[in-house]
Chains A and B, each alone.
Chain A
Amino acid sequence: MGRKNTNSLPVTAAGENTGVGVASQSPRPRKTPFILVVTRHGHMGEPVMNYAVNVAERLKYAIFAVHVNTLPFFCDGGRRNRLFASAMEESTAQLMEMARAKGVLVEHLGESGKIGRVVKRLCHSERHIEFVIVDQGIAKEEVATQSPVPVFGVIYTSAKPGQIHTATHHITIKKGVSGMSTTSRKRHMKNCFVFGALTVGLYAAVFSSQSVVMTYFTKGGLYTILPVALVFAVSYVHGNFTSAFWSALGIEGSQATVKKEAEIRKEAPVAADIRKDTRPRAQVSV
């Protein structure tokens, strides 16, 4: 996924690159540290903007706000992209208003693609990014694995608009119906229908010609391969179908347990002790 220009942005006067809007009219100092604020929504969460502006004011940092369109090729005739762009304009204008009141420098960019990759690329760009703040709806683990700087999440609820919590590492437990994204459920549904149809076809083929099947499959000798090959085929087709079936129903393995086990295994040393190297070594004391 490539970079998406934000030419439609209203403020581009002092932008260095195309698509970069800057709130302040004065050029930024050469080594100003930035807080990278990332959202995947058209409208960045207000608590996120508030928090970013307050922290930037206190630390004397600048804000680098990035709207990432994660579905640039969504098949709806470009409607989603247009809505995203107009929402992004509104959101950026709001952020710049807030920042202007506090005297904080804001640069803005519209991007598209995977958020982790975008953050990685931006962190390695010329701006000196100190840390990243991500809006709700972004998997912090995904960003954290690619980001060279710390990633913070701002958690907020619509019921308590003033309440802001920050967390350096927020684990979102995704499982079953509640956690499954629409795309993955669609994929499971698709697999369910494809492999379900194949399974029905396979079973129908065998049971509609029982006499022929039983004649050859019970001959033994070299014909041994027939039943064995057929059950392998059944295990592939029907196995995929049953897997997709439970997933489509939202019955999936607990991600929390699976992740925990994987982490424990990763961290735990192999039971065998590594033999100590007892050879003499020269040591230098300074």
Chain B
Amino acid sequence: MHGPVSEVIQFIDLNAYSIVFLFIVGFIGGLVSGFIGSGGAFVLTPGMMSLGVPGTVAVASNMCHKFPKALVGAIKRYKYGQVDIKLGLIMGLFAEIGVQAGVVLQRHILEKWGQAGSNLYVSFIFVLVLVVVGLFVMRDAVKMKNSVSEVPAPTLAKRLQQIELWPMLTFKTANLRISMWFLVPVALATGMLAATIAVGGFIGVPGLMYIIGATSIVASATELVIAFVMGLGGTLVWAYYGTVDIRLTMLILAGSLFGVQLGAIGTTYVKEYMIKYVMATIMLIVAVSRFFAIPRYLNELQVTSLSPGSVVIMNQLSFGIMCFALLVGAGIILVNLFKARSLEKSMVLQEG
């Protein structure tokens, strides 16, 4: 991922379609990222590639748009008192190490099993992580929604917080104290997943909630700081090799900064379980999408023998479902945001 780019890079010519496409996808992605802390950018890389952008340029430009978006989202949510900067920076630092470890692992797999093997590994990890974590988060969200009393902090997080293992770290905004040794694995896993499937937040946010013990609001807000640190590190490497197409980055940013602000505003209106609910929904739909991408790699590895036509259809279906996941997430956020706003407005009118 961060290796030297030897081939001559071809940058695309922009037209009205690609500009509008990038703006809209940027907006929807930003909306989801501002709300759940991450997960809004995974459609962009395949989306840009569908416009004819080379893979490396798509990944680099996507990475370059992620960190300013995360920065703006983090600042917005910091104003709402939701961000634990210290937690985010420490996690971000170790997550960056995780990214490098993930890159090494990817290279190793690439050397051993070739491109198709590597892709199969990525898709397999994608489906496994998204299904397991997504189902867990969804179960928790449903439990929270149906619960009349306040749901207690996760048992695992509570137990880990009680273990006094030097060095103990205190996080005021997240209102927790935990040993650094429990933070590091979560951060490394976040980084490794980011290097593998480009969305570290699918591990980072649940990790912060269920292992570290932060609330979903603080976890999703702090994830933006982690994404900023990781994104900045990644961008510096990609930009060093001259693979960032700044025009694409700016077009995505044009839409995503509108979205990230709105997503951040949305977190102040909805209940805690809603963040988990949106995240789990997106994760599970994306898992289905990746499932449809697996037959292509199995075919390339000659494990299966599907016709090229059905492989193409499955690929298109996979991309379509991925877009659908993002649209569903954005839809839930917008509907809940405006519903909660109108409810509060009517309450104000009644009081006045």
Can you list, as one digit per residue, whether each of A30-52 has a CB less than 8 Å from chain B (1) or not (0)?
Answer: 00000000000000000000000
Q: Are B345 and A176 in contact (CB under 8 A)?
A: yes
Asked whether A142 is an interface residue with its Cβ less than 8 Å from the other chain, the reply is no
Q: Does B249 contact A (CB under 8 A)?
A: yes
Once the chains bind, are B175 and A243 in contact (CB under 8 Å)?
no
Contact residues in B for A174 (Cβ distance below 8 Å): 348
The secondary structure that dominates the A interface is helix
Do the beta carbons of B257 and A242 come within 8 Å of each other? Answer: yes
B80 close to A (CB within 8 Å): yes
- Mark interface residues in A113-137 (1 if CB within 8 Å of B CB, else 0): 0000000000000000000000000
Q: Evaluate whether A258 and B81 lie within 8 angstroms (CB atoms) in the complex, with A176-B344, A203-B254, A272-B177 already known.
A: yes
Closest to A218 in B: B242
Q: Which A residues lie within 8 Å of B344 (CB)?
A: 173, 175-176, 254, 256
CB closest chain-A residue, reference B5: A220
Q: Which of A220, A246, A258, A270 contacts B239 (CB 8 A)?
A: A220
Q: Give Cα A258–Cα B83 distance, bound, in whole angstroms.
A: 12
Q: In the assembled complex, which residues on chain B have CB atoms less than 8 Å from the CB atom of A239?
A: 68, 71-72, 75, 257, 261
The answer to the question of A16 belonging to the interface, with a C-beta cut-off of 8 Å to chain B, is no
Q: Which of A175-191 contact B (CB under 8 A)?
A: 175-179
CB-based contact A246/B262 at 8 Å:
yes
Further contacts, 5 of them, CB under 8 A, given A213-B247, A227-B239 = A235-B253, A246-B258, A251-B262, A252-B265, A261-B80
Seen from chain A, the residues whose Cβ lies within 8 Å of a Cβ on chain B are: 172-179, 203, 206-207, 210, 213-214, 217-221, 223-224, 226-228, 230-232, 234-235, 238-239, 241-243, 245-246, 251-254, 256-258, 261-262, 265, 268, 270-272
Binding site for A on B (CB under 8 A): 9, 11, 64-65, 67-69, 71-72, 75-76, 79-82, 161, 168, 170, 172-173, 175-177, 213, 217, 232, 235-236, 239-247, 249-250, 253-254, 257-258, 260-262, 264-265, 268-269, 340-341, 344-345, 347-349, 351
Provide a sorted-by-A list of 10 A–B residue pairs whose CB atoms are within 8 angstroms. A174-B348, A178-B345, A214-B247, A227-B64, A230-B246, A235-B72, A242-B72, A242-B257, A242-B260, A243-B261
